[in-house]
Amino acid sequence: MKLVRAIIKPERFEFVKKALEEKGFNGMTLTEVKGRGEQKGITLEYRGGLMTVDLLPKIQIEIVVKASDVDSLISTISESARTGKIGDGRIFVIPVEKAIRIRTGEAQE
């Protein structure tokens, strides 16, 4: 199993969620995070002066899937989150040794 962690723009989340549901990826964990990448933030004009915002709001989505589903999940997220502009986000794939369902005690490896 693999944990796929995607960090995307907040305004793209509904597009990503819909695409994931259409492909059968229903379970996910969502976290509102702040961060920055190569863009190193943005500069805004506020009350006549310039203000640098270096940590931008992002959405982090975490989904655990079978290793065989990783490529499909990555392409679904990439295609639905992509705007073609800087700051679209990143996807990380992390190995998961075991997952236990608390309600039943069922373990998956």
pLDDT digits 0-9 by tens, 30-53: 999 998 877 666 676 777 777 777
Q: Which of 15-19, 28-32, 45-49, 88-92 shows the lowest per-residue confidence on average (mean pLDDT)?
A: 45-49
Residue 42 has which token pair?
């943005």
What is the SS3 assignment for 27?
coil
Q: What is the pLDDT of residue 52?
A: 73
Q: How far is CA 16 from CA 1, 27, 62, 78, in A?
A: 21, 13, 12, 9
Can you tell me the distance from the alpha carbon of 26 to that of 76, in angstroms, rounded to the nearest whole number?
Answer: 13
| Strand 99-100 to 29-35 pairing | unpaired
Write down all domains in the chain, each with its CATH number in brackets. 2-108 (3.30.70.120)
Q: What is the pLDDT of residue 98?
A: 95
Cα diameter, the chain: 59
- The more confident residue out of 36 and 57 is 57
Can you tell me the distance from the alpha carbon of 30 to that of 34, in angstroms, rounded to the nearest whole number?
Answer: 13
